[in-house]
Structure 1
Amino acid sequence: MAVAVAAVAVGGAIGLDPGGDEDPPPGGRGGTSVEVTRRTLVDQTAVDGTLGHGPEIPLPVKATGTVTWLPQQGDRITRGATVLRVDDRPVTLLYGALPMYRDLGPGDTATPDTSSGPSTAKGADDANDAEKGTDGPAESPGPGAADAPEGNAGTGGTGSTGSTGSTGDTGSTGMDVRQFESNLAALGYTDFTVDDRYTAKTAAAVKRWQKHLGVPETGRIAVGDVVYTSGRITVGRVAVRVGAQASPEALGYTGGERRVTVEASAQDGAWAVRGTRVTVEVPGGEPVEGRVRSVSREMRSAEGADPEGGGKAEGAQDATFTVTIRLLDQSAIGRTERAPVTVRYVSDRKAGVLAVPVAALVALAEGDHGLERAGTEGGFVAVRTGLFAEGMVEVSGRGVRAGMKVRVPE
């Protein structure tokens, strides 16, 4: 078989070997030999990303009144700390998935009520009997209790009983009570059972907490007294000034953990699925493993797109969406807070294929690729190429086997 031999460059381009005047060394042509191996090839694609604290979202502040103190942009706030003060009363950060949507407090039987007789609810009597002698009568409801939505306040109301309502006489009940009590216990205020019932013992712990905060010791929590996030936060934008009215748009925040965001192309964004493994390369640091945490549903229009819907204009970019990546080891990126990074994800993977270094490929006269057998066996064998990855190439064809030695041309 007549062949013209040419080494294939790493990028896959094929060029003709110009040859040389030197005679080949005794025993065969120059170059080194390698074995055909069976292995897994993984092709990775690199995209640009930004290290930071993730997308900024509004802090769900529900306190009403005049802002009397604000944090600074970049401040880190943890559980139990003040996020802002309204009417000189602290709004405290707690951790949880449920928002603060109502006032919380013990039942009415713990508060003297001259407008109506004592409750006859058996459940209330049993609950109060269990708590008798611990704290005495509860104090008046805290600020905002009188304005609580019907059926939602812990002062009775007409809400139905159940896991998300209140029974009135027995106090607030529901998963939001359990969430609040879990935070109260984490802050060191205990001597009550963490469950879905706001009891007199809960109220006693709240009074001790309120004393520490320097606010009236009511034993009740108004809807605007606390705000929940999933964890510690970093203050972002500050949209109001001291002296302005508080609002849910007063502060923006990001998560306390550093994350990476990528503006992924809609055309090549199939990799962007929650849980996808990626590798993040921070300038001057070692690669860090990450996972796709969230994928935005909002698609941004491509720059330069034809407004008439006739496709992209010349030089236009694909539409993009935001991918947020969680870093598995925060310490591995040192103290860097913000930086451009490179994110690599697996775009193709093939297991158990025969592979050789790309440099071992030669171009045959017929236009195909081939490998040159090393040693005394000599000769060329035609191959089909598959995946190119990590400086290797998948090869197959008649006569190609694992362990076969092939020459890498000089």
Structure 2
Amino acid sequence: MRPSFGILRKRDPDADDLDTVLAIGGGGDDGGDGDEEEQRSSSGRGRRGWIIAATAFVVVAAVAATILLTRPPAEADDEQKKPPAETTEVARGNLTEQVRVTGKLEFKNVRDLGSPLAGTVTGVPAPGTVVGRGYELFRVDDTPVILMFGVLPVWREFAEGMADGEDVRQLEANLQALGFFDGEPDDEFRWATIEAIKEWQKALGLEETGRIEMGRIVFAPGEVRVQDAVAKVGSPAGGAVLKVSDSTKEAAVDIDPNLAANAPVGAKVDVRLPDGTVAPGTVTAVGAPVERDNDNGGKTLKLPITIVLDDPTVAAAFDTVSVSVTLVHVIAEDVLLVPVTALLAQPGGGSAVERVVNKKTELVMIELGKFADGMVEVVGGDLAEGDVVAVAR
């Protein structure tokens, strides 16, 4: 019998055996040869199987070696220098990190509001009502008590012959804002003031006397939000009638004093609400450092800051809630920055990046500075702003 040899053939792409196998077969020319083959022992067939497998392995190895040895060096070099799929530019700027602190969002400056006006409380607004300049706070003997803006409280009636005072200027400024006073507000209660009061009284349906009895108006620094009624309808007037607060929610937050430079008045921050909404806010006040109790039973110096939401309506569904505030802390200013994912650790220590030039990459050794939020400061090495570097996916 003459053995017949097949040719090298590629494996099925879905198979798990060798990439290339050697097809070796045997066949006889006559039946005698076939009988002789049938008389071979099973051990002989086993040895032949091992010989075939070994021969196939040698051929596969030889083919693979031939491919590697005959591959042009330029081709291998080109593959190593192909531009990466992900790149970024080296930037110059501030290295920053986000600092998160907790605080409380609530209506501030809660206080009682009332009037010395004698009589009976005949009307109060619903909780949540916001009252602005010139609007009714509550009613006494079915006449309105009006809110006006000012820092001085009402301490006397306004009438002809009264002494000059800052409260007169405050009244005239309100009458001017409401469209009843045409002159320049001053400390003197004059004829023009009396006429303005009469016009104001007429608009409210009050008797046009030109004088304002003590308690008819209430001064407050700004509009107020009604928290609740202290006095019920039918109660005697003359004391506190409403519990009110400022109309705008504020977030009160304590930060470490070393973050003061990152939270000046006017600084922008992010406020995370209980429902996950992140709303932009602005620092409106920074207090003096104060001592707060810490978890260890001691005291820690903190800096209180006040934050107001840029759009108060996003927190309309909340009253008094805890919030998370994110500040931006500047670690280094005006430095070269690359992403941490661009760094390549080098044998023997040190770091490098792959710079992309003319669609090829080159290794550039660099010296690292500070790290923050996935970025790193570059303090040494042949790297410049605008260079394109590879980053890991």
Q: Same fold (TM over 0.5)?
A: yes
Q: Are residues 59 and 203 of structure 1, via their aligned partners in 2, closer, same or farther at CA, if it must alter by over 3 Å?
A: farther
Q: Structure 2: which amino acid aligns with 1:275?
A: G
Partner residue of 2:369 out of 378, 385, 399: 385
Residue 110 of structure 2 is aligned to residue 57 of structure 1: yes
| Residue equivalent to 1:104 | 158
- Alignment CA distance shift 1:103-1:336 (3 Å): same
Asked if the contact 2:158/2:213 (under 8 Å) is kept, the reply is yes
- How far apart, CA to CA, are the structure 1 residues paired with 2:295 and 2:80? 62
The one of 138, 149, 155 equivalent to 1:95 is 149
Matched, 1:39 2:30: no
Contact in 2 for aligned 1:354/1:401 (Cα 8 Å): yes
Distance 1:64 1:406 in 2: 76
Structure 1 residues 348 and 367, CA gap change in structure 2 (3 angstroms): same
Corresponding residue for residue 81 of structure 1: 135
Q: Which has the higher helix share?
A: 2
User: Of residues 259, 276, 287 in structure 1, which corresponds to 2:249?
Assistant: 259
Aligned partner of 1:236: which letter?
Q
Identity of aligned residues (%): 31
Q: Deviation string for 1:47-105 (max 9, x for gaps)?
A: 345555x3133255442545513322211112222212345553210122333233222
The answer to whether 1:408 aligns with 2:391 is yes
Q: Report which stretch shifted further, 83-92 or 69-78.
A: 83-92
Q: Is the 8 A contact 1:384 1:396 kept in 2?
A: yes
Does 1:357 pair with 2:339? Answer: yes
User: Which of 368, 375, 378 matches 1:395?
Assistant: 378
* Deviation for aligned residue 1:238: 3.1
- Does the residue aligned with 1:201 lie in a helix, a strand or coil? helix
8 Å contact from structure 2 (residues 115, 241) kept in 1: no
User: Aligned partners of 1:35 and 1:321: how far apart in 2?
Assistant: 38
Once residues 129 and 332 of structure 2 are traced to their aligned partners in structure 1, the CA distance between those partners, rounded to angstroms, is 47
Match of 2:176, SS state, is: helix
Taking a change above 3 Å as real, the CA distance of residues 377 and 278 of structure 1, as seen in their structure-2 partners, is closer
1: CA distance between counterparts of 2:154 and 2:350?
69
SS in 1 for 2:293: coil
Which secondary structure does the structure 2 equivalent of 1:223 belong to?
A: coil
The equivalent of 1:292 in structure 2 is 283
Q: Is the 8 A contact 2:354 2:390 kept in 1?
A: yes
RMSD in angstroms over aligned alpha carbons? 3.8
1:215-246 deviations in whole A, cap 9, x for unaligned?
45432223322112233221124333341554
Q: Decide which structure has greater strand share.
A: 2
Residue identity opposite 1:277 in structure 2 = K
Kept after mapping to 2: 8 A contact 1:387/1:393? yes
Q: Distance in 2 between matches of 1:250 and 1:94?
A: 16
Q: Deviations over 1:270-316 (max 9, x none)?
A: 3454333324456576743x32223456957426452xxxx37xxxx
Relative to 1, partners in 2 of residues 1:26 and 1:238: Cα closer, same or farther, differing over 3 Å?
A: same
Counterpart AA for 2:339: P
Structure 1 Cα separation of the partners of residues 202 and 341 of structure 2: 75
For residues 87 and 130 of structure 2, the distance between their equivalents in structure 1, rounded to whole angstroms, comes to 59
Label 1:39 to 1:284 Cα distance change in 2 as closer, same or farther (>3 A).
Answer: same
Contact in 1 for aligned 2:130/2:224 (Cα 8 Å): yes
- Alignment-derived partner of residue 222 in structure 2: 231
**1:363 & 1:267 partners in 2: Cα distance?**
37
Q: Which residue in the other structure is 1:141 paired with? A: none
Superimposed CA distance per residue, residues 19-59 of structure 1 (whole angstroms, 9 cap, x where no aligned partner)? xxxx998224876444433334443323345555x313325
Letter of the 2:80 partner, please give it: G
Mapping 1:333-372, distance limit 5 Å: 333=314, 336=317, 338=319, 341-348=323-330, 350-366=332-348, 368-372=350-354
Q: Does the residue aligned with 1:397 lie in a helix, a strand or coil?
A: strand
3-state DSSP of counterpart to 1:176? helix
Structure number with greater Rg is 2
Find the aligned partners of 1:366 and 1:99 in 2 and give their Cα distance.
76
Contact 2:257-2:303 within 8 A present in 1 as well: no
The correspondence of residues 104-183 of structure 1 with structure 2, limited to 5 A, is 104-107=158-161, 154=162, 166=163, 173-183=164-174
Is 1:49–1:260's contact at 8 Å kept on the other side of the alignment?
Answer: no
Give a deviation string over 1:253-280, Cα, whole Å, max 9, x none: 2333x43313324566634543333244
Q: Distance in 1 between matches of 2:388 and 2:199?
A: 79
Between 78-87 and 62-71, report the one with greater CA deviation: 62-71
Unaligned runs of 5+ residues in structure 1 are 1-22, 108-153, 155-165, 167-172, 313-317
Deviation digits for residues 178-202 of structure 1, max 9, x if unmatched? 2212222333434666433212332
Give structure 2 stretches of 5+ with no counterpart: 1-75
Partner SS for 1:26: helix
Structure 2 Cα separation of the partners of residues 34 and 266 of structure 1: 35
